[in-house]
Structure 1
Amino acid sequence: MSEVVLVTGASSGIGAATARRLAADGYRVVLAARSEGRLDRVREDLPTDALAVPTDVTDLDAVAGLVDATLDRFGRLDGVVVNAGTGEQPDVPLSELSLDQFEQVTDVNVKGAFYTVRAALPAIRERSGAVVFLGSYKGKYPSTATPIYAASKWWLRGFAASLAGRVGPEGVQVGVVNPSGVPTAFGGEFREQSNDDRLDPDAELSIEDVADAVAYVLSNASPAAVTELDLFREDIYERF
């Protein structure tokens, strides 16, 4: 029976591309995001058995219900891709950045990641499965434009490494994929331009590039584990 992987933030962008890639590899996929309509459209395009569960990852009870729905449907959970994320308006002085933006970035990127892992980990432990986090280039290098987003991704990497220290000896793989910029609708909520509008698709990574990296991390079998995979555009260090 094929493995089951849960993907958060799966209604568009990297999350949807990851769901498509995993389904093409034969995984049964559980898709989670807030938008039921967009989730259903992604699910309908997948070639394997899939489940769409509208979920706000900042709601602890909703995330617990998401995992329960997964186990009710498939009876197992082999992996989770912690992808849901958001960012603040760039280049705003900290004294002028709204607390709503700070709290939303923290709620989604930090609390949402923790809630997802907290709920999913018992089932993943039973399968000696995998946890894959979507990090960021900005989680390894300073970002003067988006310090709150960057800090949330630095936290994510620290959490992932610490989690690996706990569950790695039990056979659970924990990895982080750190992409540089990807043209998606990310950032549209608080920014005048989303990454789709701001980034040149011919010069940046594609969502499929990132999905391939996630699939690679998931594909490793114990005792091998890709703990961190940096996926940057080839000229990324020129900015230094």
Structure 2
Amino acid sequence: MIELSAPQGGGNGRVALVTGAARGIGLGIATWLLCDGWQVVLADLDRERGPKVAQVLGENALFIAMDVADEEQVAEGVAEVLGRFGRLDALVCNAAMADPHNMTLESLDLGHWNRVLAVNLGGPMLLAKHCAPYLRAHGGVIVNLASTRARQSESDCEAYAASKGGLLALTHALAVSLGPEIRVNAVSPGWIDARDPAVRRLEPLSEADHAQHPAGRVGTVEDVAAMVAWLLSRNSGFVTGQEFVVDGGMSKKMIYQG
């Protein structure tokens, strides 16, 4: 069951492409932008859920199927956006293999490593490559969804951590290459409860989960979406090449056991 309601917002004439938008943080970002009056293209691998989500979100939402690691699919998807709307103002690269844990380093499969980097790092590069001419025409913006795991790790997260660390480097490289016409920034979420509402109700997080955060709670998709929306707005016009951490303060907290 998809629990959504159609956003209510007047059109602002701007078009955003959000990848990995059928659920979780990507869906939260798409919904926020629709409420701000954007026309939003939701790109995702999930051909079953994606169209249903777009239908619920209303006439300003369009779903396209896309594997961001496949350059042909990326090129075709961008062409579809331009054919439908005639412009592109923002690219939000959220699609990722989001489970950070792989097997131990000694048993890490090279195929898994390559796929994670192809999706999490290669995908944003391909999207920037194919979207840049159209973003440039309208002073567009790119926001990459990285992770606090780009700078901090648990065990057995080599592929994910490397991909997100690379994405931060790609972000500032793109900002320099594509500026001043296109601004490029990254958002690094911490613990965000991005589960569907029904799951959150059935399996609520504990008080300890929330209390360990200096902000007093685990993050929500809206916390991330609000930051992305600001970075896409003209209010952030002097901001490019930067990383914005949305983690409730956890990365600034000293944690010792005992």
State the TM-score, normalizing by the size of structure 2.
0.81
Equivalent in the alignment of 2:132? 121
Residue deviations 1:195-225, cap 9 Å, x none? x979757442111111111111111357422
Over 4 Å off, 4+ runs = 196-202
Equivalent in the alignment of 1:189? none
Alignment of 1:166-181 (within 5 A): 166-169=177-180, 171-181=181-191
Residue deviations 1:80-99, cap 9 Å, x none? 00000114563732111223
> Does structure 1 conserve the Cα–Cα contact (< 8 Å) formed by 2:150 and 2:165?
yes
Residues 81 and 151 (structure 1), Cα distance of their counterparts in 2 relative to 1, 3 Å cut? same
CA separation in 2, counterparts of 1:81 and 1:210? 12
Q: What is the CA-CA distance between 1:160 and the residue it aligns to?
A: 0.6
CA separation in 2, counterparts of 1:180 and 1:148? 17
Residue deviations 1:120-150, cap 9 Å, x none? 1111011110000001101123443412101
- Selected match of 2:194 from 165, 184, 198: 184
> Does structure 2 conserve the Cα–Cα contact (< 8 Å) formed by 1:11 and 1:38?
yes
> Does structure 2 conserve the Cα–Cα contact (< 8 Å) formed by 1:9 and 1:32?
yes
**Identity rate, percent:** 33
Q: What is the CA-CA distance between 1:165 and the residue it aligns to?
A: 0.8
Q: What is the CA-CA distance between 1:39 and the residue it aligns to?
A: 1.1
Equivalent in the alignment of 2:88? 77
- Selected match of 1:155 from 146, 163, 166: 166
CA separation in 1, counterparts of 2:141 and 2:17? 10
- Selected match of 2:245 from 218, 230, 236: 230
Q: What is the CA-CA distance between 1:238 and the residue it aligns to?
A: 3.3
Alignment of 1:59-98 (within 5 A): 59-87=70-98, 90=101, 92-98=103-109
Give the residue type in structure 2 aligned to 1:204.
V
State the TM-score, normalizing by the size of structure 1.
0.87
Structure 2 gaps of 5+ residues are 1-11, 196-201, 211-216
CA separation in 2, counterparts of 1:223 and 1:183? 30
Residues 92 and 40 (structure 1), Cα distance of their counterparts in 2 relative to 1, 3 Å cut? same
Q: What is the CA-CA distance between 1:4 and the residue it aligns to?
A: 0.1
CA separation in 1, counterparts of 2:186 and 2:236? 17
CA separation in 2, counterparts of 1:16 and 1:102? 26
CA separation in 2, counterparts of 1:148 and 1:132? 21
Residues 126 and 221 (structure 1), Cα distance of their counterparts in 2 relative to 1, 3 Å cut? farther
Residues 29 and 59 (structure 1), Cα distance of their counterparts in 2 relative to 1, 3 Å cut? same
CA separation in 2, counterparts of 1:221 and 1:234? 24
Residue deviations 1:157-209, cap 9 Å, x none? 0011011011222x211110011022336xxxxxxxxxx97975744211111
Match of 1:36, SS? coil
CA separation in 1, counterparts of 2:243 and 2:99? 25
Mark the structure with the bigger radius of gyration.
Answer: 2
- 88-97 or 5-14: bigger deviation: 88-97
Match of 2:106, SS? coil
Equivalent in the alignment of 2:30? 19
CA separation in 1, counterparts of 2:186 and 2:150? 10
CA separation in 1, counterparts of 2:154 and 2:179? 31
Give the residue type in structure 2 aligned to 1:112.
G
Q: What is the CA-CA distance between 1:118 and the residue it aligns to?
A: 1.0
Match of 2:105, SS? coil
Match of 1:123, SS? helix
Match of 1:31, SS? strand
- Selected match of 1:204 from 194, 200, 218: 218
Give the residue type in structure 2 aligned to 1:86.
M
